Each structure stands twice: as C-alpha cells, then as structure tokens.
C-alpha cells in the first residue's frame, strides 16, 4: 500500500480572502486543530472563525487551506513533513524542546495520513464545531464524477461522502407544534 499524505490545494483564489494567512498550494497539510485547543472558539470571529470551521493547516506556511488533496508521498516526504512541523511547533506554539515537538508532529502527521485512505487526487474537506467544551471534527471526501464525455473541472466534483452524525427530526411533532 502506497504512502499518502494530504497536500493543500487551491481551486480558486478564495482562500486568500477567507483566511488571514492562506497556505500555498502543494504544502503538506495537517488538520491544525491543535491550534484551537484552549481557545474560546465561541469568541472567534471573521477569518479566525473561518480557519476554525474548515481549514487545513499548511505545514510550511502555517497558513490555511479549505481543501486538501490525497497525494502519494515517500517516506522521505513524510519525515520532512514531521521535521518541518516540529520546527513550526517550536517557533510558533511554544513547544519546550525539539524532542517534544517531534513527538507531537509525528502524531499530527500520522493522523493526517490516516485521512488519506482514499485514491490519490481525492479532495478532503474538514468541518469543526465546538461541542460540550471540546472540538469535534468531521471530514468529507469529494470524488470526481465519472464521465468520459465531460472534462474534469473543480465543479464536476459532485459525489460527496460525509462523516456527520445523523440528525433525527420528528416532522409530525413539529407539525403539531411540539418541539
């Protein structure tokens, strides 16, 4: 089984407007949720709130990307991603030493790698919410619709798989005025 990791991707320029710092296309990516631990996410607004809600963290720039793409990687690519992220954890997150940062970076990259159990070029989306004092992540994949007659474009990615909790609504009770 080939090693795969997520990379940032930019299908249009919107990330440069949505986030305070947009990731460059092609960076190795992690979820970046660790940057929100301990934050009062209900008080986030604007671009910070958008990063919380749906951004993947580009390892090189420490910028955000709305989507990531499953990409084949080598063991050397993975090791470089871990080392780069560890350096960022020391520089930007106050990691006490390189050893601690490397352990945390390894864990983050391993989780990101676990999201890539899909064919190469599958797009990944992320949605975060604050629930009961914690952070919940859900992921979706976007696959290109198989059609030999139509060229592939960003707007042809229409098949979506989501890992979201099922919502149950009692329509009859709502109709009767009970909530």
Q: pLDDT at position 137, please?
A: 94
pLDDT block averages, 10 residues each, the chain of length 179: 92 94 97 93 93 97 97 97 98 95 98 96 95 91 65 48 49 55
The whole-angstrom separation of Cα 100 and Cα 92 is 14
3-state DSSP helix/strand/coil % of the chain, to nearest 5? 35, 25, 40
Least Cα distance to 115 among 53, 47, 49, 32 occurs for 32
Q: pLDDT at position 133, please?
A: 82
Q: pLDDT at position 168, please?
A: 53
Q: pLDDT at position 143, please?
A: 74
Contact (Cβ atoms closer than 8 angstroms) between residue 28 and residue 59:
yes
Residue environment code for 52-66, b if the CB has 16+ CB neighbours within 10 A, otherwise e: bbbbbbbbbebbbbb
Instruction: Determine phi and psi for 93, rounding to 5 degrees.
Output: -120, 0
């Amino acid at each position: 089984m080939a090693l795969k990791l997520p990379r940032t991707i930019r299908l249009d320029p919107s990330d440069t407007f949505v986030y305070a710092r947009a990731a460059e296309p092609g960076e190795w990516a992690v979820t970046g949720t660790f940057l929100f631990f301990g934050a009062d996410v209900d008080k986030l607004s604007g671009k910070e709130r958008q990063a919380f809600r749906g951004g993947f963290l580009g390892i090189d720039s420490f910028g955000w990307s709305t989507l990531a793409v499953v990409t084949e990687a080598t063991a050397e690519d993975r090791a470089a991603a871990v080392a780069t992220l560890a350096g960022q954890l020391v520089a930007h997150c106050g990691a006490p030493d390189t050893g601690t940062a490397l352990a945390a970076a390894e864990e983050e990259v391993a989780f990101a790698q676990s999201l890539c159990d899909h064919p190469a070029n599958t797009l990944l989306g992320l949605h975060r919410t604050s629930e009961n004092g914690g952070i919940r992540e859900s992921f979706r994949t976007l696959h290109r619709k198989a059609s030999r007659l139509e060229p592939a474009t960003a707007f042809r990615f229409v098949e979506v798989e989501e890992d979201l909790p099922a919502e149950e609504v009692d329509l009859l009770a709502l109709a009767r005025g009970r909530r």
